[in-house]
Structure 1
Amino acid sequence: MNTVVIIIIAVTCIISYLALNDIRMFEKYKFNVGAIQQRKEYFRLLSAGFLHADFIHLALNMYVLYMFSPAILYAFGVSGFLIIYIASILLGNLFSLLIYKNQSWYSAIGASGGVAGIIFASVSLDPVNIKIGIIFLPPALSIPGYIFGLLYFGYSVYSMLKPRSHDNIGHAAHLGGAFFGLIYTIIVFPQIALSNILFLGIMSLPLIYLAYEVFIRKRIN
């Protein structure tokens, strides 16, 4: 595991812990549509990626980041890894800002946009052989990356569209982050990504459905 991944995980854990114990810090740095639009606090687009709703939310994101980062580091190097992770957080939150622009109260936190970008980029390179295990279960029960991605994005879409449910987790950011991870991989490795188009299509089904609900049915406005 590269040192940069350990540093990102450590920094995220420290900041998340501090914010969970300091409501003023949490409110100052979380993603909030009103604060960004009215007070031009654009730093929230990035800082929200280092905050989490609780320790389970934090542990899940950091575990997934840890599991999928080796493939990205091997293929893209440290600079490519940082580009995908940071840009996916930013683009994910920009997408949230776009679809929630009329809801000034909307707020969210989490590294999920960056993690989604890493997942999509990783699986774009090797959707079958990259696998992720379930804690406490034997390696033989690990599932292919594209199946995990399908379940991960499916849950995100469900949570985002569920009526009268708001858990402060940036589910909408998953779509923007995943989109950047995919596009960046296609630009850098077009032949590899396109050869895996079937698996990408399967993993993308929840994201396609989300796009339909947002842009066609206008369920979120």
Structure 2
Amino acid sequence: MLTLVLIAVTVLVSWQAFDKPRLLDRLILWPPAIERQHQYDRLVTHGFIHADWQHLLFNMITLFFFGRQIEPLFAQYLGPAGFALFYVSAIVVAILPTWLRHRHDPRYRSLGASGAVSAVLFAFILLAPWSLIFIPIPVPAILYGAGYVGYSFWMDRQGGDNVNHSAHLSGAIYGVLFMLMMEPRVARVFLEKLTQPSFG
């Protein structure tokens, strides 16, 4: 349920921001506004706006498929709002390295839920490493995750494509660490599943 609420809010806010540049400018991560004007809410609000419909749909489809799978576990350990707490905190944590790197750069801007969605994806991979992800061919989640991290790391070093690959990496790490802190036994289950491939 919370997954659907987060998707609905993100779609609504992004849709409004597409046609309202002033709203987009107020919500986007712009480091000087945080550094000089103390608008710390931008560390969260940037995750609810997107560059275009393609950017929005990719993130929300990913959130839809994997968020619904792991949401019950967060509710079990953290209560009804557990998944929302994880998701919103992932938005903040995933962007922190970028903010620190660019906090004095007035030309830098960042937006999108990719960091938080990455956290959701990697939390799911811990629970079901051999589940198949269709991209469009079926690939085991653990292999997709390894390729995703490698690609994001390489592209972050290359730069120049206007995608915040650093947030993808930070989100992935946060998703794994959050899961392990919430339930340490997940590590043992993950390692056991790795040694027993079961596709599906």
TM-score category of the 2 structures, normalised to the smaller one: 0.7 to 0.9
Aligned-partner Cα distance in 2 for 1:56–1:154? 23
The reply to whether residue 187 of structure 1 matches residue 181 of structure 2 is yes
Which whole-Å deviations, capped at 9, do the CAs of 1:77-100 have from their partners, x for residues lacking one?
A: 243311221110011122211222
- Go from structure 1 to structure 2 and tell me whether the alpha carbon gap of 1:10 and 1:69 turns closer, same or farther (over 3 Å shift): same
Corresponding position of 1:22: 20
Q: What residue number does 2:107 align with?
A: 105
Q: What amino acid maps onto 2:174 in structure 1?
A: F
Q: Compute the displacement of 1:124 (Å).
A: 1.3
- Secondary structure of the structure 2 residue equivalent to 1:106: coil
TM-score (norm 2): 0.84
Q: Distance in 1 between matches of 2:31 and 2:15?
A: 23
1:178 equivalenced with 2:159 (yes/no): no
Unpaired runs of at least 5, structure 2: 195-200
The sequence identity of aligned pairs, in percent, is 31
Q: Is 1:70 matched up with 2:68?
A: yes
Q: What's 2:198 paired with?
A: none
- 1:31 Cα deviation from its structure 2 partner: 0.4
Structure 2 partner of 1:84: 86
- The residue that corresponds to 1:54 in the other structure is 52
Superposition deviation, residue 45 in structure 1: 0.4
Q: Which residue of 1 aligns with 2:152?
A: 156
TM-score by length of 1: 0.76
Distance 1:47 1:34 in 2: 15
Deviation at 1:158, TM superposition (A): 4.1
Q: Conserved in 1, the CA contact under 8 Å of 2:3 and 2:71?
A: no
Question: In structure 2, how many angstroms separate the alpha carbons of the residues matched to 1:149 and 1:13?
Answer: 26
Instruction: Name the amino acid aligned to 1:55.
Output: W
Report if aligned partners of 1:34, 1:105 keep a CA contact under 8 Å in 2.
no
Letter in 2 for 1:122: F
Does the C-alpha gap of structure 1 residues 79 and 38 become closer, same or farther in structure 2, counting only changes over 3 Å? same
The CA distance in 2 between the partners of 1:31 and 1:42, in whole Å, is 9
For the pair 1:122 / 2:124, whether they are aligned, the reply is yes
* Change in 2 beyond 3 A, CA 1:52/1:152: farther
Pairs aligned (count): 190
1:40 CA drift (Å): 0.8
Partner of 1:5: 3
Q: Counterpart of 1:187 in structure 2: which amino acid?
A: M
Q: Return the alpha-carbon distance in structure 2 between the equivalents of residues 21 and 148 of structure 1.
A: 35
Paired AA for residue 127 in structure 2: L
The two structures, once aligned, show a CA RMSD in angstroms of 2.3
Contact 1:84 1:180 in 2 (8 A): no
Q: Is the 8 A contact 2:47 2:111 kept in 1?
A: yes
Using the TM superposition, give the Cα deviation of residue 198 of structure 1 relative to its aligned residue in structure 2, in angstroms: 9.8
2:30 is equivalent to residue 39 of structure 1? no
Name the SS for the 1:53 alignment partner.
Answer: coil
Q: Is 1:146 the equivalent of 2:142?
A: yes
Post-superposition Cα deviations, 1:123-143, rounded to whole Å, max 9, x if no partner, equal: 112211x33223xx5xxx422
Structure-2 change in CA distance of 1:89 and 1:54 (3 Å): same
Unaligned stretches of 5+ in structure 1? 201-221
Task: Provide the secondary structure at the position in 2 that maps to 1:108.
Answer: coil
Q: Partners in 1 of 2:84 and 2:35 — Cα distance?
A: 27
Question: Aligned-pair distance for 1:28?
Answer: 1.1
Q: CA deviation at 1:199?
A: 9.2
